[in-house]
Amino acid sequence: MKTVERFIAGVDKLSSLLKVMPRFDAPSTMDSWFASVVRVTQDNCVFTPEKLPVMAPPAPELASTLLVGDELYEEDLEPPSPNLWLRPALICAASFVGALLLGVLVQSVRGSSSPEPVSRFSAAATAPVAKVATPIETEPLAPPEAPSAAAAPPTTEAPPAAAAPPAAAAPTRAAAVPAPATEGAAAAQANMETQSSAPSEAASSVRRERNAGSAKLASEYTYPIVAQQWTRVTADLSELKPTIAAKSTQTRHNRWFLLTGSTRSPEIRELASRMRGVLPDEAELSVLYQVPDIPKDYARLIPPQ
């Protein structure tokens, strides 16, 4: 056998020298990186209804404070859950009870001199709460710089006009009320401050605040859809895009899309059925999904463990 043949077969001295050369060792950080990758990939691959609430981003707790007379009522709005369709009914009931109490209180304060009938005020307060019809503005997604940016929900804000309180406020009441934690709470507090002087206006403010809260909750009811599982449906999604992409947002990386639409729309429901998720009957839904390409620097998106 010629030397070159022995070299190719790996049995000559030159090839034996090559085999004993020191090898390059992969850095140890690569192992932990890979562990993160497979963990995240696995998490995103398994997409079951049970996992849906876990994958959905946690919504900030909205606490609205109702000050009626000298009593303080607090109601916590829970984070969005799959049975979101119950919320309008609950809001209606809460509005009714609150308005009824308010009306009775106001009438007792004013005594017989007040010509305002309770029934009229109650009727105003118990008018059907507008479903989440407020348009949700979608902001361009932040570029995926931070690890959580890949799975974080898009920032959608409720229209500020819906929750903005009137400028006038009663200073004496404000001192007795704790500082609000959120904008919704601030709006509710401001609403309550105006209630003592204008009950019917206050009721509508409460209603507006409720609607704003619902809209905000619905906007945060977001499915983060990432990675491989969704690359299989995005081909079909391209057909859906023209119809529901009125508010779609494309990042400068051209890889993430945000679709926003009503859960009544057949496209969104079709999407949900593919996700095997449960959608509320009435809500605005934002869907974040990824196009098939893996981001170039996807490795840097893996959150540190």
Partner 1 sequence: MNTPAHTPALAALPDKDLMALITQGNVTGSATELYRRHNRALFNFVSWSCQGRSFEAEEICQKVWLKVAHCSEYQPAASFNTYLYQIARDLLADMHSDAYDPLADAGQEPNPPDDDLTAEVEADLRINLHRVRRAFMELPILLREAAALRFFCDLSLEEIAAATGAGFDTAKSRLRSAFAYLRCNLGRV
The residues that touch partner 1, with contacts defined as CB under 8 A, are: 2-4, 6-8, 10, 12-15, 17-28, 30-35, 37-39, 41-42, 45-46, 227-229, 231-232, 294, 298-299
Backbone angles phi, psi at 211, to 5 degrees: -60, -40
Which residues sit opposite 66 in a β-bridge?
A: 73
Cβ proximity to partner 1, 139 vs 145, nearer residue: 145
CB of 7 to partner 1, least distance (A): 4
Query: Which pairing describes strands 62-68 and 256-262: parallel, antiparallel, or unpaired?
Result: unpaired
CB of 242 to partner 1, least distance (A): 25
How far is 156 from 248, CA to CA, in rounded Å?
A: 12
CB of 35 to partner 1, least distance (A): 5
Count Cα neighbours of 6 within 13 Å in the Cβ-side half-sphere.
8
Backbone angles phi, psi at 93, to 5 degrees: -65, -45
Cβ proximity to partner 1, 247 vs 255, nearer residue: 255
Closest among 76, 72, 49 to 60, alpha carbons compared: 76
Q: Is the distance from CB of 191 to CB of 165 less than 8 angstroms?
A: yes
Cβ proximity to partner 1, 32 vs 238, nearer residue: 32
Closest among 207, 225, 216 to 276, alpha carbons compared: 225
CB of 20 to partner 1, least distance (A): 7
CB of 49 to partner 1, least distance (A): 16
Cβ proximity to partner 1, 149 vs 233, nearer residue: 233
CB of 152 to partner 1, least distance (A): 20
Cβ proximity to partner 1, 38 vs 167, nearer residue: 38
Residue for token digits 């696995």? Answer: 42
CA 282 to centroid of chain Cα atoms: 15
- H-type alpha helices, the chain: 3-9, 13-19, 28-45, 52-55, 86-110, 118-125, 160-163, 171-174, 183-195, 199-219, 228-231, 234-244, 266-275
CB of 48 to partner 1, least distance (A): 11
Cβ proximity to partner 1, 228 vs 243, nearer residue: 228
Cβ proximity to partner 1, 39 vs 120, nearer residue: 39
Query: Which pairing describes strands 222-224 and 71-77: parallel, antiparallel, or unpaired?
Result: unpaired
